[in-house]
């Protein structure tokens, strides 16, 4: 479903005298529909860079990212128009990082409901039920549902973040250390949720720091050096 070919990303820092930093070099891999690929490698090897290039937060330097989109057919995410990337992000592709980046002054429940409402075409009631059940499952205390996640603990923020990312059931999900600051129990819950999402057909590419975890959830691993 998605094939990365010879992806290379170099940052040119003009304000530091044209300093060049190569973030990843000649990365190639493929993921079949419904597959779960893990990205492994030492810190600084460029794992997050690869994910960000796929999500187009970074512009790929060279190489291609072929993606079989349900709306657009085969596209190259490295060169696709901004407008089409926005649309694909909206309909098909999710991204979850280890940091919660949410809109200020929006309650936890609304943070999770928003993508369901805007993408799945369901009623408020259905969206609300789905969001509540996700948050409950991820053990966010009920009394925090209408509070702003900016005030939550690190672990709670991350769980809200995951709830938001999976709530609308994206077709392709990019995971950048989604379990980094969670305790053992929470990690187990998150993995169960990801497993269910895969059963529903979501293709995933993920970075996990823990090698045991990486082996257990993914069905293939690409090593970046």
Partner 1 sequence: MQPLIRIRGLTKRFGSGCDRCLDETGPEHDTNLCPHCGSVLACNDLSFDLFPGEALGVVGESGSGKSTLVRLLHFEWEASAGSMEVHRSAVGSHLLAEMFPDNGDYSKNLLLLSHFQRRQMRNALMGIVYQNPHLGLRMGISSGGNIAERLLGAGWRNIAKMRRRAAELLEKTEIPVQRMDEPPANFSGGMQQRVQIDKALSNNPLILFLDEVTTGLDLSVQARVLDLIRNLRSEFKLSMLVVSHDLGVINLLCQRTMVMKAGHIVEDGLTDQILQDPQHRYTQLLVASQL
3-class DSSP state for residue 179? Answer: coil
What is the rounded distance in angstroms from the CA atom of residue 5 to the CA atom of residue 78? 10
Query: Both tokens of residue 122?
Result: 């369901």
**Toward partner 1, which CB reaches closer, 71 or 216?**
71
**Toward partner 1, which CB reaches closer, 39 or 60?**
60
Regarding beta strands 62-69 and 2-13, do their DSSP bridges make them parallel or antiparallel, or are they unpaired?
antiparallel
Selected from 104, 123, 143, 185, the binder of partner 1 by CB under 8 A is 104
**Toward partner 1, which CB reaches closer, 82 or 125?**
82
Residues in contact with 163: Cβ distance below 8 Å, sequence separation at least 6, in sequence order: 112, 131, 134, 135, 138, 140
Selected from 21, 32, 70, 86, the binder of partner 1 by CB under 8 A is 86
21 forms beta bridges with 11
Binding mask 191-210 for partner 1 (x = CB under 8 A): --------------------
71 near partner 1, rule: CB under 8 A: no
Selected from 20, 73, 83, 200, the binder of partner 1 by CB under 8 A is 83
Q: Tell me the torsion sign for CA atoms 149, 153, 159, 165.
A: positive
Residues in contact with 22: Cβ distance below 8 Å, sequence separation at least 6, in sequence order: 8, 9, 10
103 near partner 1, rule: CB under 8 A: yes
**Toward partner 1, which CB reaches closer, 57 or 133?**
57
14 near partner 1, rule: CB under 8 A: yes
- Give the interface with partner 1 as residue ranges (CB under 8 A): 11, 13-15, 52, 56-59, 82-83, 85-87, 103-105, 118
């Amino acid at each position: 479903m998605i094939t990365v070919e010879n992806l290379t990303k170099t940052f040119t820092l003009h304000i530091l005298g044209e300093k060049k930093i190569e973030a990843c070099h000649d990365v190639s891999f493929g993921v079949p529909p419904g597959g779960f690929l893990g990205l492994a490698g030492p810190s600084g090897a460029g794992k997050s860079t690869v994910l960000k290039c796929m999500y187009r937060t970074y512009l790929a330097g060279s190489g291609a990212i072929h993606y079989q989109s349900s709306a657009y057919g085969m596209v190259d995410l490295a060169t696709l128009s901004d407008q089409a990337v926005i649309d694909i992000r909206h309909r098909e592709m999710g991204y979850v990082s280890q940091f919660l980046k949410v809109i200020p002054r929006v309650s936890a429940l609304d943070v999770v409901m928003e993508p369901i409402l805007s993408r799945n075409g369901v009623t408020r009631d259905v969206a609300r039920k789905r969001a509540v059940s996700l948050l409950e499952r991820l053990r966010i205390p009920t009394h925090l549902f209408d509070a702003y996640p900016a005030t939550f603990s690190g672990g709670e923020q991350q769980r809200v973040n995951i709830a938001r990312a999976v709530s609308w059931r994206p077709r392709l999900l990019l995971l950048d250390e989604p379990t980094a600051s969670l305790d053992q129990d929470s990690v187990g819950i998150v993995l169960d949720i990801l497993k269910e999402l895969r059963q529903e057909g979501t293709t995933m590419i993920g970075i996990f720091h823990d090698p045991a975890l990486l082996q257990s959830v993914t069905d293939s691993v690409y090593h970046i050096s």
